[in-house]
Structures are given as structure tokens and as C-alpha cells.
Amino acid sequence: MRLFTFFGLLVYTAFCIFLSTGIVLFAFEVITPHMISDILAQILCYPNAGLILTCVSVLITLFSFSFIQSVLGKIHREKYIAFNTSSGQISIALAAVEDLIKRLSVQVPEVKSLRPDVRVRRRGGIVVYLRIDLRSETNIVELTERLQDLVKGRIQDMLRGIDEPIIVKIHVAKIVAQEEKDQKKADAEVKEKPPIPFYGYGR
């Protein structure tokens, strides 16, 4: 499906470029109606031209339909997780799950900031995209594995009874240097110090 989406985007882009270029050339009379009719007549003279044009039209339609379906699927992405219990249906907003994940940063001191994005796949499963800023002197591999297990376990505890697979993907956006932290701490201490009254005035 992703391949069809890629080709759909490629076909759509190529068609727009071709159409806009043709309009500009036609506006400046570089291309005339007589030239267009001659080109179409030459194409129709090729053997099996009708079959080839039909196959090309069908492929373009399939690629475009796949691309449109993918775009609409992203626009109308589910904003909640729904599951059934013996007493009825329960739905949990994805924003609530994201807030739960944000609070996990307190348990991981190596993480400076954490921005989660939770999505529900159409074919089943929950995908969590984490964009994090780390503190310096951190083992990234060990930390990310521990964070993945922590997020996955917390969601499983929250949604106990759901057998949907949970995938946690982490992107490390920034690593804060120790010098930068020390400078920010020093600046904060300077701002917190109250000014001494009449300091600098002579007797």
C-alpha cells in the first residue's frame, strides 16, 4: 500500500508539473492547437495504442486512488482507543494516553523533555512516537530500551485486557551539554540573587 501511495504522489506531482508547464507554453504560443492535434494523431497511429492508453489510465487511477485514500486516512485518524468489555464499550482519548506518557519523564532523570504522539493503526495496534531531549553522559541505547519497556508496560497496565500490539519508536532530538546546563544554572542563580540596596555608592 505504501508503494501505491508513493507512486500516486509521484504521478500527481508529475501531472501537475506537466499541466502547469503546458499551460504556460500554450499561453506564450510555444504550443499551438495544431501541434497538439498532430501529437495525438501520431500516438493513435502506434499499434495497440488504445490498449496501452487504457492500461496507463487504469494505473494512474489506481495510484491516485491509493494516494487519496492514504491522505484521507491521515486526516480522519482515530483520536481515541475503543475496546469492548462485558458491560459495554469503553473509549480512551489518545490525548489522555499522551499525558500519561509525559509523566513518565519524572521516573527517568536522564530525559530532559519528552513529547509523545500516540496513533492507532487501521490494521490494529498502537504506535507511540517519542521525541525526547536527553541529558549528557547518557547511554542512549540502554536508556531508549528502558524507556520503551516503561512506556509499553504503562500502556498495557492502563489498557489491561487489550491484546493489541504496542510499538514504541523513539527519536532523540537533542542532547543537552553539561556546559549548557551549568551556564543556565549560573544564570538562574544570578537572577535569583536580590540586589544589595545602595550598593556602589560611596560614603
Q: How confident is the model at residue 145 (pLDDT cuts 50, 70, 90)?
A: very high
State the average pLDDT for the chain. 79
Top-confidence residue, 90 or 27: 27
| Helical H segments across the chain, by residue range | 2-27, 33-45, 49-75, 94-102, 140-158, 178-192
User: What pLDDT, on the 0 to 100 scale, is given for residue 124?
Assistant: 76
User: What pLDDT, on the 0 to 100 scale, is given for residue 20?
Assistant: 92
Query: Is residue 152 a contact partner of residue 125, using CB atoms and an 8 Å limit?
Result: no
H/E element, 135? strand 126-135
What's the CA gap between 152 and 168, in Å, rounded? 7
Q: What is the pTM of this model?
A: 0.52
User: What pLDDT, on the 0 to 100 scale, is given for residue 129?
Assistant: 93
Top-confidence residue, 146 or 106: 146
Query: Is residue 78 a contact partner of residue 95, using CB atoms and an 8 Å limit?
Result: no
pLDDT exceeding 90 applies to what percent of the chain?
16
User: What pLDDT, on the 0 to 100 scale, is given for residue 14?
Assistant: 85
Domains and CATH numbers, the chain: 2-75 (no CATH), 93-188 (3.30.70.1350)
Q: 53 in helix, strand or coil?
A: helix
Tell me: pLDDT of 92 over 80.
Answer: yes
User: What is the longest distance spanned by two Cα atoms in the chain?
Assistant: 107
Q: How confident is the model at residue 59 (pLDDT cuts 50, 70, 90)?
A: confident
Tell me: pLDDT of 81 over 90.
Answer: no
